[in-house]
Amino acid sequence: MTATATSPVLANDFYAPLKARAAEIEAQYRNLTPVSAGLFEQSKGLFPGGFTRDAVIRKPYSPFIAKGEGPILTDSDGRAIVDFWFNASSLPLGHADPRVVAAVNRQLGLGTAYFAPTETELALARILCERLPSAEQARFANSGSEAVMIALRLARGFTGRDLVVKCEGSYHGAYDDVQWSVAPAKDKFGAPDSPVPVPDSAGLPESSDRILVLPYNNPEILRREVRARADRVAALIIEPLANRMGLIPPTPEFLAAARELSDEIGAVLIFDEVIAFRLGYHGAQGFVGMTPDVTTLGKVIGGGFPVGAVVGKTDVMAASDASRRERVTHAGTFNANPVTMSAGRATMEALTPDVYDSINAKGAKMRAGLEAATAGVPLTITGAGSFFKINATAEDITDYRTAVTVDGAWEEVLSLGLFNAGFMLTPHLHGCCSAVTTDEQIDGFLAAFTDLITP
Ligand SMILES: Cc1ncc(COP(=O)(O)O)c(C=O)c1O
């Protein structure tokens, strides 16, 4: 449901009944997952707070997974769970796709890493450059965070400037320079038209000279603030699908302003497509019809293995050309390792335009089903392509300030209830479909969802 300030059901009346069931739903979860509970006890001694990866932090603990096959995860308690998040959307073909497994097995027998390039990295780079309209050259890394780190270094090296513009509410990975205002608290984030940069972690260096935080989807403020610092801005980094704000796309006006400003002041426009490349055969840039100078990639291009890549126009990418004296350096023992490259190549070759269409049709079916199930109640359904997100708010979500109106506690209870019913989303109800997702699984999910939200 979108923009329903006039929702016939009042928000509190709607959210309260499920939240009142939080203890019962948690007890049911604990009952279903005693082995995971025991493993989490062991984790607490080995990992701070019991987790070694922030993204999978869940209350009261995460299920441990023993196996993934197609759309199904088997947890350590032996329960089959329908996966609707596929390791943060990184497995568009599902778990253990036979083509990917065969490619990786072939490579394992040939060795896993050499101190030299391989033909497989050429093949994967060629696929990326053929499919992404703005990609002429590539550099591989081991994560999306590394890709962002290198993209910003390239932009700074290319322009000789320091300042990077990022949007409030955008997540661009774990690199210090972009861990600002990812999920800032309401009492710290300042006025809507001039957001205060808020660190997303303890231990970050001072940001003020290096990062400017601006609202997503506000072309006027973007123009005003960027023009005021025209000679200092090295890059604008933008998500063409804003994950943490509810998997929402940018408006065409916002993207057009970003493109026009970058050209006007000589800054590098970076699209962070680490998650958004899943939107279509030509990436999010094909989907939104606008090209950046540089694109950061990750997730799907590694076929389930750790990966990152920066691709872009030759003039910017050449800043890392080894024949230059003053150059942007970029090292990494496992960059373009042949196992990741084989898995990535097999995945990208399997992702034909028809497969993208089919995955996106499943996403559209899910969003339509959710829209129908939430008519008249204060829930907003967002997402695009194969992605969907259930938001516990009646607001039309267009940026961080509207995204942050959600009732996060309600979302977490619903997510746990859905897990009890056999479905895995994020704790805040981000989801996606993959090629292996069936219509029956979508229908089953919609039935479980409707059951949980009906008092
Ligand atoms: C838009 C975006 N950029 C960067 C990253 C970081 O990628 P990684 O987790 O591979 O470091 C993510 C991860 O979710 C992301 O969604």
Which is nearest to 184 in space by CA: 206, 215, 138? Answer: 215
- DSSP string across 45-107: HHSGGG-S-GGG--SS-PPPEEEEEBTEEEETT--EEEESSHHHHT-TT-BT-HHHHHHHHHH
Q: Sheet containing 387-391: give its strands across.
A: 380-382, 387-391, 430-432
Show Cβ contacts of residue 364 under 8 Å, excluding neighbours closer than 6 positions.
none
pLDDT at 11: 78
Q: What tens digit of pLDDT does each residue of 130-141 get?
A: 999 999 999 999
- Output the CATH code of domain 98-350: 3.40.640.10
Quote the ligand 1 centre to 121 CA distance (angstroms): 21
Q: For the chain, percent helix, then strand, then coil, each to nearest 5?
A: 45, 15, 40
Chain centroid offset of residue 230 CA: 29
Q: Does ligand 1 lie within 6 Å of residue 144's CB atom? A: yes
Q: Does ligand 1 lie within 6 Å of residue 280's CB atom? A: no
Q: What tens digit of pLDDT does each residue of 175-220 get?
A: 999 999 999 999 999 999 999 999 999 999 887 789 999 999 999 9
Atom of ligand 1 nearest to the CA of 272: 1
Question: Which of 172, 241, 295 is the best mutation target for the ligand 1 pocket, counting ligand atoms within 8 Å of the beta carbon and taking the most?
Answer: 172
Ligand 1, atom 13, residue with closest C-alpha: 173
Domain ranges (residues) in the chain: 11-95+353-453, 98-350
Q: Does ligand 1 lie within 6 Å of residue 94's CB atom? A: no
Amino acid at position 246, single letter = G
Quote the ligand 1 centre to 304 CA distance (angstroms): 14
Q: What tens digit of pLDDT does each residue of 227-277 get?
A: 999 999 999 999 999 999 999 999 999 999 999 999 999 999 999 999 999
pLDDT at 208: 72
Residue 6 predicted with pLDDT over 60 = no
Residue 289 predicted with pLDDT over 90 = no
Quote the ligand 1 centre to 272 CA distance (angstroms): 8
The domain made up of 11-95+353-453 has a fold known as Aspartate Aminotransferase, domain 1 (3.90.1150)
Q: Does ligand 1 lie within 6 Å of residue 274's CB atom? A: yes
Quote the ligand 1 centre to 274 CA distance (angstroms): 6
Quote the ligand 1 centre to 150 CA distance (angstroms): 13
Q: Does ligand 1 lie within 6 Å of residue 75's CB atom? A: no
Ligand 1, atom 16, residue with closest C-alpha: 275
Q: Does ligand 1 lie within 6 Å of residue 150's CB atom? A: no
Q: Does ligand 1 lie within 6 Å of residue 182's CB atom? A: no
Q: Do domains 11-95+353-453 and 98-350 have the same CATH topology?
A: no
- DSSP string across 8-26: SS-HHHHHHHHHHTHHHHH
Bridge-based pairing state of the strands 65-69 and 72-75: antiparallel
Q: Does ligand 1 lie within 6 Å of residue 275's CB atom? A: yes
Ligand 1, atom 8, residue with closest C-alpha: 144
